[in-house]
Amino acid sequence: MAKSDIVLPGEFLANEEEFMAGQGAYDNGSGEVYSSSIGRKSLAAERHEASVRIVTRDVRIIERGCIVHAIVNSVKTNAALVTILSAEKDGERRTVHNSMASIAVFNIDTQYIKGIDEMFRAGDIVKAKVIDVTPYGVELTTKEPDLGVVKAYGIKSRKPLHLIDGKLRDPVTGDTETRKVSSEYLLR
């Protein structure tokens, strides 16, 4: 197909005397058929129909139930503030328009926790699930076993921590640290 077969919204397709408006096309009321979407022009002579085969993919935005990977920006008394890096649902990538999100203290774990600073630290990469999307931000949870920190960094050395015998150990200082660790933690 030639490059000229690709049409944009508002481009002339045909006269209404020869072709009726089909999918992706409209009649402007003066006997002309125009494109209403981006795609390839299709004139079906046997059906007398002018249509546009859409070539762009649908943009799927983040919604409840999406699994996200995010980086912890800061840890407050009642919530961890994170920036969403990527999102997917049912194996399909999602577009993230508002990357700011939070994980409230009651959405971190099913068990009681003393403080958020024991569960997350700035710079940690977390895997979480979207529970709500609002104009003010995205609310996340890490209550499930496969959700939580997937890569953590040491407080003193800032080097990646290794999961050894269920504890996160700093390879430089040898210190152990606690986090809400995902069952999919990267460094074992």
Q: Cα dihedral angle (83, 86, 89, 95), rounded to 10 degrees?
A: 90
Put simply, whether the predicted model's pTM sits higher than 0.85 gets the answer: no
Please name the fold of domain 67-177. OB fold (Dihydrolipoamide Acetyltransferase, E2P) (2.40.50)
Nearest to 56 by CA among 4, 7, 2: 7
Q: What is the mean pLDDT of residues 116-131?
A: 94
Cβ-based neighbour number of residue 60 at 10 Å: 15
Q: For 48-69, write each residue's pLDDT tens digit.
A: 999 998 876 667 789 999 999 9
Where in the chain are all domains bearing CATH 2.40.50.100?
3-54
Q: What is the mean pLDDT of residues 89-104?
A: 90
Strand partners of residue 94: 87
Instruction: Among 3.30.1600.10, 3.10.105.10, 2.40.50.100, 3.30.70.20, name the CATH number for the domain at 3-54.
Output: 2.40.50.100
Residue 1 has pLDDT above 60, yes or no: no
